[in-house]
């Protein structure tokens, strides 16, 4: 796993994705019973690819983009916004063998199917 981006690089990637996906918080006042409350929801743009993730890795000289995409996808990062929603939760656990076993794709699909999935993610994200 030595080809994986560092925690610091992953944090930088996440900050980049927040900007690229245009994360904002939408607020509106809603009536709940007799009270007025402020309802806050995040909004963002996503093209359902890892295009911003792959572009960031390429621009930052990441040597093995595919290996990083594989780990990101294992943690549920199948598109840029999911990197923030899912992968960020588990990224610092990637050295934990028990956690990695839990997220082993072979628990759900064959190795060939997983390879095809990663191929597809790479193709639509480049």
Cα-based torsion angle of the residue sequence 109, 114, 115, 119 in order, rounded to the nearest 10 degrees: 140
pLDDT of residue 8: 94
pLDDT of residue 2: 63
CB 121 within 8 A of CB 69: yes
Mean per-residue pLDDT of the chain:
89
Taking the alpha carbons at both ends of the chain, their separation in whole angstroms is 23
Q: Is residue 100 part of a domain?
A: yes
- The pLDDT of residue 61 is above 60: yes
Q: Is residue 2 part of a domain?
A: no
Percentage above 70 pLDDT, the chain: 98
Our count of domains for the chain comes to 1
Q: Is residue 1 part of a domain?
A: no
Task: Please give the residue range of the domain that contains residue 50.
Answer: 7-125
3-state SS, the chain, equals CCCCCCHHHHHHHHHHHHHHCCCEEEEEEEEECCEEEEEEEEECCCCCCCHHHHHHHHHCCCCCHHHHHHHHHHCCCCCHHHHHHHHHHHHHHCCCHHHHHHCCHHHCCCHHHHHHHHHHHHHHHC
Q: Is residue 121 part of a domain?
A: yes
pLDDT of residue 27: 79
List Cα–Cα distances, 17 to 47, 103, 111, in angstroms: 12, 23, 29
């Amino acid at each position: 796993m030595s080809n994986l981006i560092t925690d610091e690089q992953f944090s930088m990637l996440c900050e980049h994705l927040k900007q690229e996906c245009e994360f904002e918080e939408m607020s509106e006042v809603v009536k709940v019973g007799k009270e007025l409350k402020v309802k806050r929801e995040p909004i963002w743009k996503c093209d359902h690819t890892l295009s911003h993730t792959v572009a960031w890795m390429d621009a930052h000289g990441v040597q093995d983009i595919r290996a990083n995409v594989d780990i990101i996808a294992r943690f549920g990062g199948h598109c840029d916004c999911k990197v923030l929603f899912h992968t960020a939760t588990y990224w610092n656990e990637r050295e934990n063998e028990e956690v990695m076993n839990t997220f082993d794709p072979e628990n759900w699909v064959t190795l060939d199917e997983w390879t095809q999935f990663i191929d597809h993610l790479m193709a639509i994200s480049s």
